Amino acid sequence: MSIEPMRIFFKEIKEPIKTTMIGNYAVAGGVTQTDPDVICAFPITPQTQSVEGLSDVVHQGRLKAAFVNVESELAAISYSTAACAAGARTFTATASQGYLLMTEGLPMAVGWRLPLTMMISARAFNSPNLSIWNSWEYTQVNSELGWNIIVSENVQETYDAAILSVMISEDTLFPTIFVHDGFIISHSVQNLTLIPDEVVKRMTPKKPRHVIDPSKPGVWGGIVTPSYFMEGRANLDEAKNLVLNQMKSAMAQFKSETGREYNLIETYNLDNPSKTAFCTMGSMSGNIISWMTKNKDVGLIKIRAFRPFPYEELRKIIEDNGIEKLIILEKSDSLNGMLPP
């Protein structure tokens, strides 16, 4: 394990710093600045350096967090959920098969309204063969369980997302996943600007919330009859309908504090004469933006908020700009026909 890439985070960051690093270490640095109480993850390629970096800052005493080594991703999500329910600001991370192994524990974090944050370094699932490289199968599996999901294009965005995800989780009281593309971003060295610690603290204050309290006994996740179960689902659905506006508010605060603007959907060159636009997300957006420097006849619709999916905003963008041809660029392939967005 190398300490050197994380050394910049061993001391307080007092002013904006321009630097370079890979996406995984940028995530580790951003998480460090949010001052988590518990970090619990199982290493899996291409996520590994994110938790290695966090173990460095904990070992150096920069971060006063419990760094918990567990035997599997299922153990990681179980421990993380329990820690978050007990009141700890909690972070975990995974990829690919590890995300699948977490499946049993993911709905509980939603049902208990826990502001847990998770980073996914997007990697293919092992079908038909083992692959450690980038793909978007995570969009097909577990995306409908109720976790918020935001997607980053580059290293700067994934660093910012580590901070923004805490803001979103704790504002919405729903767990949040932030995603970057495996190897393309996780292992790419890129420029970024770090935010001063004091600014991050202003954006991510630790607020009182519902927690398991032994002095006030109650039941969390107990069995209920169908009528009460559906009432609970309806309550979750009602709360989830507020999330996109809460995301917008968090992004507006982030812009106010840092000058960096984020939106649920971002657009480029939609007034092009061909009335044609690509629609994609993640690092592929950067490819299209680069390609557009020599090809002015197309535009780009870049999805940042993948769940909840901003259907109405996307429809309005297409209609208001008179887009006649929309080219969807995907990195996942359903073997059973068409998928929802």
User: What DSSP assignment string belongs to 67-136?
Assistant: EEE-SSHHHHHHHHHHHHHTT--EEEEE-HHHHHHTGGGHHHHHHTT---EEEEEE---SSSS---S---
Name the residue among 103, 94, 114, 89 with its Cα closest to residue 41: 94
According to the CATH classification, is domain 4-203 in 3.40.50.970? yes
Q: Are 82 and 46 in contact (CB under 8 A)?
A: no
Report mean pLDDT in 10-residue bins for the chain, 341 residues: 82 97 98 99 97 96 96 98 98 98 97 98 94 90 95 99 99 98 98 99 97 90 92 96 99 99 98 96 97 94 98 98 96 74 56
* Helix/strand/coil for 19: strand
Pairwise CA distance, residues 289 & 293, whole Å: 7
The residue whose two tokens read 């504002």 is: 171
- The number of beta carbons lying within 10 Å of the beta carbon of residue 233 is 12
The predicted structure's pLDDT at residue 138: 85
Q: Is the peptide bond before 340 cis (omega within 30 degrees of 0)?
A: no
Element (H, E) at 277: strand 276-281
The predicted structure's pLDDT at residue 3: 67
Pairwise CA distance, residues 268 & 175, whole Å: 30
Name the residue among 15, 6, 112, 130 with its Cα closest to residue 56: 6
The predicted structure's pLDDT at residue 341: 56
Pairwise CA distance, residues 322 & 8, whole Å: 47
Name the residue among 290, 318, 263, 278 with its Cα closest to residue 150: 263
The predicted structure's pLDDT at residue 340: 54
The predicted structure's pLDDT at residue 4: 83
Tokens describing residue 265 = 């959907």
Pairwise CA distance, residues 273 & 196, whole Å: 43
The predicted structure's pLDDT at residue 339: 60
Tokens describing residue 62 = 């920069």
Element (H, E) at 17: strand 17-22
77 CB-contact burial (10 Å; exposed 0-12 / middle 13-18 / buried 19+): buried
Pairwise CA distance, residues 54 & 83, whole Å: 17
What is the pTM for the complete model shown?
Answer: 0.96
Q: Please list the residue range(s) of the chain that carry CATH number 3.40.50.970.
A: 4-203
35 CB-contact burial (10 Å; exposed 0-12 / middle 13-18 / buried 19+): middle
Pairwise CA distance, residues 54 & 63, whole Å: 8
* Helix/strand/coil for 30: helix
Name the residue among 171, 303, 305 with its Cα closest to residue 250: 171
Tokens describing residue 8 = 């910049």
The predicted structure's pLDDT at residue 139: 85
Tokens describing residue 336 = 């059973």
